[in-house]
Structure 1
Amino acid sequence: MYKWIITLALAALPVVAQAQSTRLQSLETTHAGREWLAVGRLDVDGTGFCTGALIAPDLVLTAAHCLYDKRTKQRIDPTRIEFLAGWRRGAASAYRPVRRAVEHPDYRFDGDVSADRVRNDVALLQLQQPIRNTTVIPFETGKQPRTGESVGVVSYAHDRAEAPSLQRLCPVMARQQGVLVMSCDVDFGSSGAPVFSFDGDHPRIVSVVSAKAEVEGARVALGSSLGETLVLLKAGLDNPAPAAPGALPRVNRSTPGGTGTVSGAKFVKP
């Protein structure tokens, strides 16, 4: 389980951000979890786990820091990661080892905890074989939500490692420099969890959980930006000879803001 705790001192947030979030709902029963079987637990080299979600039969979206050993700061061999789709109480709807993985080209695991690090904390894993189970339906992705919009999260965590939980309503408190600050209840093991928009006829993934944080003593979740990232990640998987293992070619593009703050907040290293 990957431990990322960031203390924030945010500037004034919109009044709508004070709207009450719904509580976590356990998805441990077959009925409750049926719609969410494409969310799964990522078991990482026997040392911990993250959360991930299918966006294609052979592609899992998660956080980039889940690919690293937090002690050595070295990248883990992706073939030592396994995706357990819909994992509940000792059984999964499908089991698939990972074949290869790519992360955002600007992600740096050993750098300072900053807006850049959170914003770029996205990875795409290609499974050794697609999941063709008709009950495990990959999710579509959608555009980044606006400040004040309600989103939801499905995640595993250290205290719910054997079944995921759904928080269907948690407002986006702020959105700056590509980082979402949300009033979602996440914990260790929730890294990489899909953030859903329910604006439409079915849920769409609009971000992934990068870290948990505190704002004036209240727990919040920080989400990474998708934007053009998915295009880059998919191109990286299609590239037969990347410049470095798991890395994507760097491209010339502008990035919003600096590296130190989000809504005037200072990131403090855990």
Structure 2
Amino acid sequence: MSVKKPIRQRTLSLAAALLSVGLACVAAPKGASADDSRLQRLETTEAGRDWQAVGRLDVNGEGFCTGALIAPDLVLTAAHCLYDRDSRTRIAPQTIEFLAGWRNGRASAYRSIRQAVIHPSYIYDGKVSTDRVRNDIALLQLQRPIRNTTVTPFETDQRPQKGARIGVVSYAHDRSEAPSLQDVCAVMARQEGVLVMSCDVDYGSSGAPVFSFDAGRPKIVSVVSAKAEVSGQQVALGSALAEELALLRAQLTGSRIGGQMPPGVGRVKVGERRSNSGAKFISQ
């Protein structure tokens, strides 16, 4: 759901084999969505104070995604943000810029990207599947760490359970100049590593951090990958995070020192079997 002009929408119907198992339980999520909060625009310094580590990722001068600092020099986002949608090739990291706390034409910090790593099992092949959403995460290393005391990196946490209260801070095509916060939405289901959520997302929200509020300070528990329809209701889909993030950190460490990938961290080859979900995915 990165923004690229012109925005083209298409709905991909995937195999419905899992509808009766995982997605059937979210067909009527009235209890989860009834308490969802509306989007709150973080246009003022006071409103956006706690969210300066969320920023806009300007990609190749053609579009943008959302990303969040998890270390002074590391931004977490969605892997598909690093691909050109037409050619399906990787975008050079050096053409991406992170605008921390971007709001009304100004950012708390501006950083170009030194290098980027994606989940080793992620494949950008034009097909939206459960595997693609689950593995849709990337780490970007900044050219220089952000040491601004107002920009505090977020901690990460384990994947939340079904019914857990969560929130999202994101940019989108109709709110590109300031982020918006939805601080109450819910996990409707967990299916094969994918979170199905009642959160309000749109084009440009790709890579947006999904927060848990259980420990006081918000912690990132997932990354927005796509929006979808379940029984006619718009939902957000989030990637897995905990073990997958550890793989990304290992990749980044290996690339820094020129080392080998650790055991078990390999790349899935095109053509290997991948399972599908029962949702109707709306292309990013």
Q: TM-score, normalised by structure 1?
A: 0.90
| Equivalent residue, structure 1, for 2:35 | 20
| Equivalent residue, structure 2, for 1:250 | 266
Structure 1 segments, 4+ long, off by >6 Å, are none
Q: What aligned pairs does 1:201-216 form with structure 2 within 5 A after superposition?
A: 201-216=216-231
Following superposition, the deviation at residue 243 of structure 1 comes to 7.8
Following superposition, the deviation at residue 26 of structure 1 comes to 0.5
Q: What aligned pairs does 1:56-205 form with structure 2 within 5 A after superposition?
A: 56-205=71-220
Take 1:249 and 1:174, find their aligned partners in 2: how far apart are those partners? 28
Take 1:40 and 1:149, find their aligned partners in 2: how far apart are those partners? 25
User: 1:33 aligned to 2:23?
Assistant: no
| Equivalent residue, structure 2, for 1:255 | none
Note the residue ranges of structure 2 that are not aligned, 5 or more in a row: 269-273
Following superposition, the deviation at residue 16 of structure 1 comes to 4.2
Q: Give 3-state SS (helix, strand or coil) of 1:200's partner.
A: coil
| Equivalent residue, structure 2, for 1:238 | 253
Note the residue ranges of structure 1 that are not aligned, 5 or more in a row: 253-257
Q: Give 3-state SS (helix, strand or coil) of 1:112's partner.
A: coil
226-235 vs 158-167, greater mean Cα deviation: 226-235
Following superposition, the deviation at residue 7 of structure 1 comes to 5.8
Take 2:108 and 2:75, find their aligned partners in 1: how far apart are those partners? 15
How much is the aligned-residue C-alpha RMSD, in angstroms?
2.3
| Equivalent residue, structure 1, for 2:271 | none
Q: Give 3-state SS (helix, strand or coil) of 2:48's partner.
A: helix
Percent of aligned positions that are identical = 64
CA contact (8 A) 1:208 1:223 kept: yes
Take 2:12 and 2:233, find their aligned partners in 1: how far apart are those partners? 12
CA contact (8 A) 1:123 1:233 kept: yes
Following superposition, the deviation at residue 218 of structure 1 comes to 1.8
| Equivalent residue, structure 1, for 2:24 | 11
Take 2:147 and 2:123, find their aligned partners in 1: how far apart are those partners? 34
Q: Deviations over 1:195-218 (max 9, x none)?
A: 000001200000000001112222
Take 1:242 and 1:80, find their aligned partners in 2: how far apart are those partners? 25
| Equivalent residue, structure 2, for 1:53 | 68
Given residue 276 of structure 2, which amino acid in structure 1 is its aligned partner? G
Q: Give 3-state SS (helix, strand or coil) of 2:168's partner.
A: strand
Q: TM-score, normalised by structure 2?
A: 0.86
Following superposition, the deviation at residue 45 of structure 1 comes to 0.5
CA contact (8 A) 2:12 2:282 kept: yes
Q: 1:205 to 1:7 in 2, by over 3 A?
A: farther
Q: 1:15 to 1:269 in 2, by over 3 A?
A: closer
User: 1:259 aligned to 2:272?
Assistant: no
CA contact (8 A) 1:113 1:267 kept: no
CA contact (8 A) 1:6 1:214 kept: no
CA contact (8 A) 2:228 2:282 kept: no
Given residue 83 of structure 2, which amino acid in structure 1 is its aligned partner? Y
Take 1:191 and 1:32, find their aligned partners in 2: how far apart are those partners? 22
Take 1:202 and 1:49, find their aligned partners in 2: how far apart are those partners? 27
User: 1:221 aligned to 2:236?
Assistant: yes
Given residue 106 of structure 2, which amino acid in structure 1 is its aligned partner? A
Q: 1:182 to 1:268 in 2, by over 3 A?
A: closer
Take 1:251 and 1:185, find their aligned partners in 2: how far apart are those partners? 32
